[in-house]
Amino acid sequence: MTEERKPWSGRFRENTSPIVDAYTTSLAVDQRFALEDVRGSIAHARMLAHQGIIPAGDAEEILAGLLQIREEIEQGRFTMDERLEDVHMNIETRLTQIVGPAAGRLHTARSRNDQVVTDLKLWLKEAIAESIASLHDLQIALVDLAAENRRVVIPGYTHLQRAQPVLAAHHLLAYFEMFERDIGRLADCYARSDVMPLGSGALAGVPYNIDREMVARELEFGAITANSIDAVSDRDFIAEYMSALAIAMMHISRLAEDIVLWSTTEFGFVDLPDAFATGSSIMPQKKNPDVLELARGRSGKVYGALFGLLTTLKGLPLAYNRDLQEDKEPLFVSHDTVNATLNILADLVSQLQFRQLASRRASGGFLLATDVADYLTMKGMPFREAHGVVGRIVAYCEANKKELRQLSLVDYKRFSDLFEADVLQISVWSSVRSRDVPGGTAPRRVAQSIRRARLILRRREEDA
């Protein structure tokens, strides 16, 4: 390839150095949205012909060539030339090979600056839909697991210390809510990505009688950008998507950590599926939760990609700068990492099994201390006083190596005359049943939450 084939080489006397070509190429990354580039070019060419900006005959040749290129890409027959700068020039060069000089008219009234950001938004809208679908699938797995285990009680924790009994289903549904917020953030991001920049030119607009609304309709954008300088330099939509993914990855990491803990011998609440575990090269008894650990660990990769992009953007003057070429790799890393993790976790969660006996055993000790304090409060004692009384009861139990369930009514009355025989009826099940408030862990409320979650999932599927 000769230097003259570069579209901007007219004012240059020397060729760029080969090491500069290698350093500045973006083809390895941006070839990923080749189909989006063709799609945008098709809409642009149709608009140019409709407005009389290019001859109708040339437009027909251009469109036929672009459709051929699209077919080549879809069938894996399109060859990217590494000597060309980017995906745009590869497609333009191939178009010239197919239709000849008419291909030179396609770039009328556009710049690679507004072309690339249009391609990115087209790609991103599909990526957002894919991420929402992956989150949706994980939610289904969580709701199904919750419904199957709605009578399993486990300790709820604060500070990683056993706190109060909760239904395992209630714990699982907490993650449903987290992922529902993630979907809401992605939906918001979609709305701000659904604004078409094409027609902004390099930065100032274009001196042709273009119809931006026509192109937006064909490309299924909801609106067009209002400022050409902002349009070509804006990467907020990428940062917002990556931010939403980073928060989702934080939720994924927390879920992974809970399952890792639950699957340990010390907890023993769940049985980790063999298909999602690995062994040790030296210790035959080991069953390691590697998938979950990698899910937890890859949150750092997603966070790093986001911080890298924000750092790239933070000092850029308006409008376009070549620094913006560095926006795509972190975007793709975030998207690929999060979606792959969501998909494998959905499979893993769908195969989890709770060990009811182990969780029942873990519900002893002092897990019902708050219930005893609430008992005294309902008998008329101020809660702070009741809290102190039960604290002394717990200290007594520890000194005498007893659990609350082993205390007699005589033992209780040492600490308050308000205790009556019904205190001995306090149990794990009476505890969870008593939390019968909206959002609580009572079986009735959890059943309502499962129904609500299924309704949300069904409505989303109907709207898709």
Catalytic (active-site) positions: 159, 280
CA distance 437 to 444: 9
Task: Give the strand pairing for 195-196 and 223-224.
Answer: parallel
CA distance 184 to 178: 10
CA distance 145 to 143: 5
* Cβ–Cβ under 8 Å, residues 114 and 200: yes
SS3 164: strand
Q: How many residues does the chain have?
A: 464
Q: Which of 239, 235, 253, 238 is nearest to 338 (CA)?
A: 253
Q: Phi then psi for 166, rounded to 5 degrees?
A: -140, 160
* Cβ–Cβ under 8 Å, residues 63 and 46: yes
Alpha helices in 106-167 (DSSP H): 112-148
In this structure, how many other beta carbons lie within 10 angstroms of the beta carbon of residue 96? 16
- Reported for 211-215, long-range contacts at CB under 8 A and 24+ positions apart, including other chains, are 211/47, 211/50, 211/51, 214/46, 214/47, 214/50, 215/43, 215/44, 215/47
* Cβ–Cβ under 8 Å, residues 33 and 123: yes
CA atoms within 13 A on the CB side of 218: 19
Alpha helices in 283-382 (DSSP H): 290-297, 299-313, 328-350, 356-361, 369-378
In this structure, how many other beta carbons lie within 10 angstroms of the beta carbon of residue 229? 16
Q: Which of 322, 332, 276, 328 is nearest to 302 (CA)?
A: 332
